[in-house]
Amino acid sequence: MIMIQLKDIIDFFNQKNIPVREGSSAITTIVTGGRNIKEAASSEITFLSQKYAGTAKKLLKECRACLVIVDEEIFNSLAETKFDFTLAIARDPKNEMAECLSHFFISEIIPTVHSTALIHATAKLGADNFIGAYTIIDENVW
């Protein structure tokens, strides 16, 4: 099993020219995956998008993750605040989280539709799709 360290994740974002502000988490921390910001453990990464801008300060204060991919506007509003975890500042934190997790933790994508996904009856999907947890595909999607 390959051990992914926080420094590997930081390098990944640096190579994509995504600004990173290192916190006090050791860069040798072993990263085990990702989870939502309310549940992330100290060995996990998470993200915070503009959707949660109103509660961003509280969510970040309570966050235990070793790295948070945060929306640029949220970061700018809290730039002077010090956090223990590392921050990656991105335009689309959710997408960057997905790319990071797939880069480091998914070796093969198995076509599947998660039981929590909602797919409208008129949506037309191609073959071999991976539809993840809580995905919503609305009507008339081709």
Contacts of 118 (CB under 8 A, 6+ apart): 135, 136, 137
Q: How many CB atoms lie within 10 A of CB 81?
A: 11
Chunk the chain into consecutive blocks of 10 residues (it has 142) and report each block's average pLDDT, rounded to whole numbers: 88 96 89 94 95 93 95 91 92 94 81 88 86 86 76
Which helix or strand (DSSP H or E) is residue 72 part of?
A: helix 72-77
Predicted pLDDT at 19: 95
Beta bridge partners of 86: 67
What confidence score (pLDDT) does residue 1 get?
55
What confidence score (pLDDT) does residue 133 get?
Answer: 82
- Measured between its terminal Cα atoms, the distance across the chain in Å is 38
- The per-residue pLDDT for 58 is 94
Task: Please report the pLDDT score of residue 10 as a whole number.
Answer: 96
DSSP three-state, residue 34: strand
Q: Residue 26 has what pLDDT? A: 86
pLDDT, residue 35, reads 92
Q: Which domains does the chain have, with CATH numbers?
A: 4-105 (3.40.1390.10), 110-142 (no CATH)
- pLDDT for 23: 87
**pLDDT for residue 125:** 85
